[in-house]
Amino acid sequence: MKPVTCHIKERSMLARLAARYMGGNQIAMVIGKTIHLHGTSREDFLRHKWWVRHEICHVMQYRELGFFPFLWQYIWECIRVGYYANRFEVEARAAERDAAIMERVIIL
């Protein structure tokens, strides 16, 4: 499978809103193939390999399911079982220890 090219957007308004909703100061979130950051720089984010792997897992989930099907299923999981028990978050937390996931993406 060809690697996915993804982008990092610093000072993202979407991530800022998510941080406010989640009650945190730093956040990374994925929309499609873009990792949106708030409260952290690109350089700091990339230094935390576990965090990068977590977000890359979400990029791959979008790729596998498609943009709108992933969003719908992700939101439904959050409603049904909550954020932390959401199967997509469980999978992303497991990916934090999987160095091989980085072979599936190119980060610009």
Beta-carbon neighbour count of residue 101 at 10 Å?
19
Judged against a pLDDT cut of 80, whether residue 1 lies above it is answered with: no
Average pLDDT, the chain: 95
pLDDT computed for residue 22 by the predictor? 86
* Alpha carbons within 13 A on the beta-carbon side of 102: 12
- The per-residue pLDDT for range 11-63, each reduced to its tens digit, is 999 999 999 988 889 999 999 999 999 999 999 999 999 999 999 999 999 99
Pair 51, 73: CB distance under 8 Å: no
DSSP state of 59: H
